[in-house]
A = this chain, B = another copy of it.
Amino acid sequence: MTTYQEPYHISTQILQNFVFAIFNSFQVPENQALISSQCLLEAELRGIESHGVARLSGYLRLIEKGRIKVPSKPYIIHESPSTASIDGDAGLGLYNANYAMDIAIEKAKACGTGWVAIKNSNHFGIAAFHAMKALEHDMIGFSFTNASPLVAPTFGKDRLLGTNPICIAVPALKEHFVLDMATSAAANGKLEIAQRKNQLIPTGWVLNKDGQDSNDPNELKNKGVLLPLGSDKDHGSHKGYGLGAMVDILSGVLSGANFGPWVPPFVSFLDPITPSPGEGLGHFVGAMRIDAFQSVDSFKKNMQLWIDTFRNSTPIEKNQRVIIPGEPEALMKEERLKHGIPLHPLVIQDLQEISKKYGVPLPI
């Protein structure tokens, strides 16, 4: 093993080339391997490490188990001028959602908006990567996906919903507004951080298997559940549950994918429930041309005014101003493009094992 200083920083391009080469070595077609590697690297750049290269081994295990099909080729099964339904051919969601977004953008060019539902797909990485494709076309982008069931609905204790993210990306004059949020109170990644640090978590993130409050970050390993955004009924958990449900319905029911408890788990050691009402898991993406509503210039000007107004509003604490959705991620990306991506020693070890196992060199 190469020695390195902690935290070791690696250049985006080197890490992306490695991910590309690994996917490509698995018969993933070149364009799919490229998009998929970009998607994982965008997560690293934006500081969402839980959805970055740390997940690479997980995707590979699903490929080896045959749950992610390679090679695969998504295709349109039904369409209208502003919509399409896609069969993801059981391939990488990282690519499928991006392919779907391209179609949404083409439809938006032709008739104002484009909306694409994808079934028979797999985990799609960070939602923002897909929604943000719309920005360069002066469009507003949307992306949603359902995911491994971990969240219980209000009053319930079964795992029926994933952390089902909602993402919207909106262009302004000098920057973007990018909301990319799990519809649970806390994403699973936050539990993992508490586990590593051996810390308790706040009440309102999880319930234990009996549906009681717990502060143990390991509760999900003991049949516990994540709570929806809002945490409890008094604080609006029925709203978080409703939003997770909306994402499940658009991504799962409308696309013909699985939904609710039938969404296939990300981890390869848990088998999907059979029989199931749909195929794979599902995504839903959209693009709206701004000039299908009003002038792009005027919109961007007002959107910048919106951002500046919120950013410069009165903070509660002098040293913590109001943050614009997507702002910390954009700053992180700027920083990491300059100085490289810091890798956790465990992630380096994981990547080195992958490198060795599949004979793809990793220059670390």
Are A278 and B302 within 8 A (Cβ)? yes
Residues of chain A from 38 to 71 with CB closer than 8 A to chain B in the complex:
none
The distance from the CB of A311 to the nearest CB of chain B, in whole angstroms, is 10
Residues of B within 8 A of A337 (CB): none
Are B155 and A185 within 8 A (Cβ)? no
Quick one: which of B158, B202, B240, B313 contacts A229, CB cutoff 8 A?
A: B240
Residues of B within 8 A of A358 (CB): none
Quick one: which of B117, B229, B299 contacts A254, CB cutoff 8 A?
A: B299
> Residue A150 at the B interface, CB < 8 A?
no
Q: Chain A interface residue count: which class?
A: 35 or more
> Residue A339 at the B interface, CB < 8 A?
no
Quick one: which of B115, B207, B236, B261 contacts A112, CB cutoff 8 A?
A: B115
Are B288 and A204 within 8 A (Cβ)? no
> Residue A364 at the B interface, CB < 8 A?
no
Are A314 and B156 within 8 A (Cβ)? yes
Quick one: which of B154, B230, B277 contacts A185, CB cutoff 8 A?
A: B230
Are B293 and A83 within 8 A (Cβ)? yes
Residues of B within 8 A of A242 (CB): 179, 181, 325
Q: Copies of this chain, how many?
A: 2
> Residue A29 at the B interface, CB < 8 A?
no
Are A277 and B302 within 8 A (Cβ)? yes
Instruction: Report the nearest B residue to A302, measured CB to CB.
Output: B253
Q: A211 vs B211: C-alpha distance in the bound complex, in angstroms?
A: 33
The distance from the CB of A191 to the nearest CB of chain B, in whole angstroms, is 13
Residues of B within 8 A of A2 (CB): none
Are B78 and A81 within 8 A (Cβ)? no
Are B177 and A249 within 8 A (Cβ)? yes
Q: A156 vs B211: C-alpha distance in the bound complex, in angstroms?
A: 34
Are A81 and B83 within 8 A (Cβ)? no
Q: A105 vs B69: C-alpha distance in the bound complex, in angstroms?
A: 39
Are A306 and B179 within 8 A (Cβ)? no
- Contact of A115 with B117 at beta-carbon distance under 8 Å, contacts A254-B294, A306-B259 already known: no
Residues of B within 8 A of A82 (CB): 81-82, 111-113, 292
In the complex, the 6 A-B pairs of residues with the closest C-beta atoms, listed nearest first: A80-B112, A211-B316, A81-B111, A83-B112, A80-B292, A179-B242
Q: Would you give 20 A-B contacts (Cβ < 8 Å), ordered by A?
A: A81-B112, A82-B113, A113-B115, A140-B254, A153-B313, A155-B316, A156-B313, A156-B322, A158-B314, A160-B309, A168-B246, A179-B246, A204-B234, A211-B316, A245-B310, A248-B306, A260-B306, A261-B309, A277-B302, A278-B302
